[in-house]
Structure 1
Amino acid sequence: MTKVLIDYSQIYLQENIPLSEEEVNMIATHKKDFFKDFSGVVIAVIMITTLIAAFFLKNEFKNFKYYHYILFIAAAVSLYLFFLLIHWLIYQYVKGRWKKDLENGKNRLKSIIISKHKTEGDEYIITFAGCSKGEKIRLPVKKKVYDEYETGTKVMVTYFKYSKEVLSLDHDERMN
Structure 2
Amino acid sequence: MIDDLKISLQENIPLDDKDLKHIETQEKGFKKVLPMVLGGSVFLLMAFTAFLIRDHFAGFKCYDYILFVCAGFAMYGFCYCMAWLVMRYDSANWKKDKTYGKNKLISMVINRDKTEHAEYLTFAGPSENEKIRIRVKPEDYSRYPTGIKLTVIYLKFSKEALELNRFD
Q: Same fold (TM over 0.5)?
A: yes
One of 154, 157, 160 as aligned partner of 1:162: 157
Matches within 5 A, 1:33-112: 33-43=29-39, 64-81=60-77, 83-84=79-80, 87-88=83-84, 91=87, 95=91, 98=94, 102-112=98-108
Report the more deviating stretch, 38-47 or 91-100.
Answer: 91-100
Residue 13, structure 1, aligned to residue 22, structure 2: no
Q: Which amino acid aligns with 2:164?
A: L
Q: SS at the partner of 2:128? A: coil
Bigger CA drift: 6-15 or 146-155?
A: 6-15
21, 25, 28: which is aligned to 1:25?
21
1:103-126 Cα offsets, whole Å, 9 max, x none, are 22422211101112234x533222
Contact 2:113 2:121 in 1 (8 A): yes
The code of the aligned residue for 1:153 comes to: I
2:144 is the alignment partner of 1:142? no
Unaligned runs of 5+ in 2: 51-55
What's the TM-score once normalised by structure 2's chain length? Answer: 0.71
Task: Among all aligned residue pairs of Structure 1 and Structure 2, give the percentage whose two residues are the same amino acid.
Answer: 41
Q: Name the CA distance, whole Å, in 2 between partners of 1:69 and 1:28.
A: 41
Output the aligned Cα RMSD.
3.8
Greater helix percent: which structure? 2
Shift of 1:26: 2.3
Give unpaired runs (5+ residues) of structure 1.
55-59
Match for 1:138: what amino acid? R
1:100/1:162 contact within 8 Å kept: no
Aligned to 1:125: 120
CA distance in 1, matches of 2:154, 2:92: 17
Q: Do the aligned partners of residues 34 and 103 (structure 1) sit closer, same or farther apart at CA in structure 2, a change above 3 Å counting? A: farther
Distance in 1, matches of 2:5 and 2:47, equals 63
Q: Secondary structure at the match of 1:35?
A: helix
SS in 2 for 1:140: strand
Task: Give the TM-score normalised by structure 1.
Answer: 0.68
